[in-house]
A and B are shown apart, each in its own frame.
Chain A
Amino acid sequence: MTRSFMVGAAALAFTASGALAQDLMVPVGEGPFNWDSYQAFADATDMSGEDLTIFGPWLAGEAAAFENLVAYFNAATGAGATYVGSDSLEQQIVIDAEAGSAPNLTVFPQPGLARNLAARGFLEPLPADLADWTRENMAAGQSWVDLGTYANADGQDEFYGFFFNVNVKSLVWYIPENFEDFGYDVPTTMEEFTALMDQMVEDGETPLCVGLGSGGATGWPATDWVEDLMLRTQPPEVYDAWVANDMPFDDPRVVEVIELYGSFTGNDDYVAGDANATATIDFRESPLGLFESPPSCMMHRQASFIPAYFPEDAELGVDVDFFYFPAYAGRDLGTPVLGAGTLFAITNPTPAAEAFIAFLQTPFAHEVMMAQDGFLTPLLSANPEAYANDTQRGLGEILTSATTFRFDASDLMPGAVGAGSFWTGMVDFSSGTKDAATVASEIQASWP
């Protein structure tokens, strides 16, 4: 036993030396940040000696980026906030909440789980004025409030979830120099997009790389396709009815959209490799086809986080760029944007937890995250200059200028569908073993 205590003591010594090494990313007062909001927050808040635990889904680089923000919170308030990430947050937070050892703040990767925990009474409502604040200060504010409002244990609606870090899904990635070599122009309407695909096929090239593989979650990239196409062929009200199952999943309109998805990706001419085998290609590897020599595809439709899986030396905005997955000019549905995002909820209330939520309301907190890769915000008061590069800035603009913003439907549907039969159904459809109508009625049958 002595030995293990000595080892424990050594581990403690390591911890102590590490705490000193936590530096601020940028010295206070420098860079395109809103330091006034930081200073005002720091002056108004004193949390000296308070501990705060934050539990979230971010790991590795994304965790390091968020820890930079936590360091500013600690510097401003004197609190001792720490962040811990986990890849199995969905399971672990349920265990911890049930057993009564929940962290103060939890970052939920999607609203479904937060709604579930709210209904079981494990979440604490956010301060009363935060919903109004969100409505006023965020682009498409009402939709963020709706997405963060859940029924509590008594069935009363309360505002629980504060959205922070949003990603945009309606994007197509391409290599500008390849487009130059072939003389292609970036399409601005869906009609141009399909014409461009046909042009590529005519030139002997392959338009799309599609990869649906994602371990246990295989199939989700196809659900994003379907959702994006739904927003481009049907009005947003139909999308909402579909998410809520007021319109059944086997409605002809849904079947039509699934078939439309099939017309993009079920065709060997359009898709690199075997069009029936897209489920065997990992979504992290499929964009690499763009960078091959010769390129095995010209375009890749994927969310704003995908550059993390591009080759290390590919420079965003120069070597590789994106365009908005266009809408049909003939349908007059505006420029719909599909997205997803993470939300903060209080799982174990303390003054420091509320102070951190207040910190997230400062433009400064968003700007620090924007200055690092992979963070987008709908907060209107955040300075776009803070974005790390033009590509990020362009993505941010898509978000703040969307005429319609809709959240990833599969994240909003019940887990049995959104993280189950919708995924597997799309895999069955993509591999050609079932047709769209069969898949749609099977998914409808699995709706709880």
Chain B
Amino acid sequence: MDNIAGKKSSLTWAVHLSVAALVIIWLIPTLGLLVSSFRTVEQISASGWWRALFPAEQNLTLRTAPPETQVQEGGVFVIEGNLFAVAGETPTQISAFGISAREVSAFAPGDTAELRRGGQITVATNGDYRLTNTEAFDGDRGARVFVTATVPPDFTLDNYDYVLFSGDARDGMGRAFLSTLTVTIPATVIPILIAAFAAYALAWMEFPGRALLIAFIVALLVVPLQLALIPLLSLHNAIGIGKGYLGVWLAHTGFGMPLAIYLLRNYMAGLPRDIIENARVDGATDFQIFTRIILPLSFPALASFAIFQFLWTWNDLLVAMVFLIDATGETTVMTRQIVELLGTRGGNWEILATAAFVSIAVPLLVFFTMQRYLVRGLLAGSVK
């Protein structure tokens, strides 16, 4: 009975440790994605992201300068230069080199190797090479040199440059960003407006069939929205809305409504009955009670639903593809823009990682500004 009140449990440290461990486990994939977003596609397929942070020994395939750069020194034709400079790579230290795919590290730096096509090559530790031959080198490509080198960590901002600034204004990320805002802000505000009224009525106004209506709305939560895609789009086409912003706002409103009403009704039903009855006694109408008392008190629930709806509409691709994006290419959203950057057969990993961070920037901002309401709102209806 030592640890009941006023005394900290001796197991607090175990709780803290396990929380820290869980947080780290949760963050590792995100960290991997972050590191990958600064790497090139070759680096990503060559090694894991955790190796990107440290220097690693790698086998590189480099090339000497082409034969057209050869000079004649006495009776000997010479091509000289630095392997890393030719390839445009960061200079580093070489520990071995080779001239055939058969044995890529046959020679130590400073050794002289006989080329199969005639001539000798010497490669120094810093990548300087000297090719010599008694006859002129022909062909239009330099000789391949395989080197084993320790490559320092190398990060690039190219992926971000590509994701953010590729394409002109017509189909760039900037336009997609504005479009996404055009979709998400009304698609968040409209359902909240409607659901707040409905939730008040279902929580505090007496009318026959109220319980059934609530049960019906809760039941709608289990209906997958995919069922409604084709009928709803036919309806939009039939009444002349077609594909466009109005259509996608209505669709998001409809799909978000059951959860919104359910969440807000449960919260409002938990508000103290005394306040509302006092207001009634003082002669307040339902509308006054709603605007003056219920709405201010329900702010945490409204905010938490706003976060939910905002995140869902921000990340949505399916509803936007069906109700917004038509074949004229005039409208787009960020999620679609990202899919397009991934290419016809997908699999552009570096773009995926980068796009993930670009796309979560705004939701993160929304989350951190409103997060204190989120936890309160999450508990709405669960405990009183």
With contacts A21-B170, A177-B101 taken as known, whether A85 is within 8 angstroms of B59 at the C-beta atoms is no
Q: How far is the CA of A304 from the CA of B126 in the complex (A)?
A: 39
| Cβ contacts under 8 Å, B243 to chain A | 101
The residues in B between 191 and 242 inclusive whose CB is less than 8 angstroms from any CB of A are: 229-230, 233-234, 236-237, 242
| Cβ contacts under 8 Å, A104 to chain B | 327
Q: How far is the CA of A1 from the CA of B237 in the complex (A)?
A: 24
| Cβ contacts under 8 Å, A177 to chain B | 101, 144
A59 touches which one: B170, B174, B342 (CB < 8 A)?
A: B342
Quick check: is B384 within 8 A (CB to CB) of the other chain? Answer: no
Quick check: is B48 within 8 A (CB to CB) of the other chain? Answer: no
Q: How far is the CA of A53 from the CA of B242 in the complex (A)?
A: 15
Q: How far is the CA of A318 from the CA of B61 in the complex (A)?
A: 15
Quick check: is A31 within 8 A (CB to CB) of the other chain? Answer: no
With contacts A11-B175, A18-B168, A82-B329 taken as known, whether A293 is within 8 angstroms of B345 at the C-beta atoms is no
| Cβ contacts under 8 Å, B186 to chain A | 1, 4
| Cβ contacts under 8 Å, A17 to chain B | 169-170
| Cβ contacts under 8 Å, B343 to chain A | 59-62, 308
Quick check: is B146 within 8 A (CB to CB) of the other chain? Answer: yes
Are B178 and A14 interface neighbours, CB within 8 A?
yes
| Cβ contacts under 8 Å, A88 to chain B | 321
| Cβ contacts under 8 Å, A10 to chain B | 178
A232 CB, nearest partner CB in chain B, Å: 26
Are A95 and B169 interface neighbours, CB within 8 A?
no
Quick check: is A123 within 8 A (CB to CB) of the other chain? Answer: no
Q: How far is the CA of A263 from the CA of B182 in the complex (A)?
A: 57
A311 touches which one: B42, B100, B170, B229 (CB < 8 A)?
A: B42
Q: How far is the CA of A67 from the CA of B60 in the complex (A)?
A: 38
Stretch at the interface among A266-274, A282-290, A321-329: A282-290
Are A284 and B340 interface neighbours, CB within 8 A?
no
Quick check: is A215 within 8 A (CB to CB) of the other chain? Answer: yes
| Count of chain B residues near A, Cβ 8 A | 55
Contact with A along B339-380 (1 / 0, CB 8 A): 111111111000000000000000000000000000000000
Q: How far is the CA of A203 from the CA of B102 in the complex (A)?
A: 9
B182 touches which one: A11, A19, A55, A99 (CB < 8 A)?
A: A11
B59 CB, nearest partner CB in chain A, Å: 4
| Cβ contacts under 8 Å, B57 to chain A | none
Quick check: is B185 within 8 A (CB to CB) of the other chain? Answer: yes
Q: How far is the CA of A54 from the CA of B344 in the complex (A)?
A: 16
The residues in A between 85 and 104 inclusive whose CB is less than 8 angstroms from any CB of B are: 85-88, 92, 95-96, 98-101, 103-104
Quick check: is B68 within 8 A (CB to CB) of the other chain? Answer: no
| Cβ contacts under 8 Å, B229 to chain A | 95
| Cβ contacts under 8 Å, A432 to chain B | none
Are B327 and A84 interface neighbours, CB within 8 A?
yes
With contacts A60-B341, A100-B234 taken as known, whether A82 is within 8 angstroms of B327 at the C-beta atoms is yes
Are A84 and B328 interface neighbours, CB within 8 A?
yes
With contacts A19-B170, A311-B42 taken as known, whether A53 is within 8 angstroms of B328 at the C-beta atoms is yes
B171 CB, nearest partner CB in chain A, Å: 7
A3 touches which one: B169, B174, B185, B237 (CB < 8 A)?
A: B185
A98 CB, nearest partner CB in chain B, Å: 5
Quick check: is B33 within 8 A (CB to CB) of the other chain? Answer: no
Are B234 and A99 interface neighbours, CB within 8 A?
yes
| Cβ contacts under 8 Å, A59 to chain B | 339-344
Quick check: is B141 within 8 A (CB to CB) of the other chain? Answer: yes
| Cβ contacts under 8 Å, A294 to chain B | 59, 101-104, 146
Are B233 and A60 interface neighbours, CB within 8 A?
no
| Cβ contacts under 8 Å, A21 to chain B | 168-170
Q: How far is the CA of A410 from the CA of B361 in the complex (A)?
A: 42
A14 touches which one: B46, B170, B185, B326 (CB < 8 A)?
A: B170
Nearest B residue to A105, CB-CB: B327
Quick check: is A35 within 8 A (CB to CB) of the other chain? Answer: no
Quick check: is A428 within 8 A (CB to CB) of the other chain? Answer: no
Nearest A residue to B242, CB-CB: A101
B342 touches which one: A57, A87, A95, A291 (CB < 8 A)?
A: A87
Nearest A residue to B339, CB-CB: A87
A302 CB, nearest partner CB in chain B, Å: 12
Quick check: is B245 within 8 A (CB to CB) of the other chain? Answer: yes
Nearest B residue to A63, CB-CB: B340
| Cβ contacts under 8 Å, A55 to chain B | 327
B26 CB, nearest partner CB in chain A, Å: 24
| Cβ contacts under 8 Å, A282 to chain B | 347
Q: How far is the CA of A305 from the CA of B344 in the complex (A)?
A: 11
Contact with A along B153-175 (1 / 0, CB 8 A): 00000000000000011110011
Nearest B residue to A10, CB-CB: B178
Nearest A residue to B343, CB-CB: A60
Interface, chain A (partner B; CB < 8 A): 1, 3-4, 7-8, 10-11, 14-15, 17-19, 21, 51, 53-55, 57-63, 82-88, 92, 95-96, 98-101, 103-104, 175, 177-178, 180-182, 203, 214-215, 282, 284-285, 288, 291-295, 305, 308-309, 311-312, 318
Pick 16 A–B contacts, CB within 8 A, sort by A.
A4-B182, A10-B178, A11-B182, A14-B170, A14-B174, A53-B327, A60-B341, A60-B344, A62-B343, A62-B344, A82-B327, A84-B329, A99-B234, A177-B144, A181-B100, A308-B345
Which 7 pairs across A and B sit closest by C-beta, in order of nearness? A18-B170, A103-B327, A53-B327, A99-B233, A293-B59, A181-B100, A60-B343
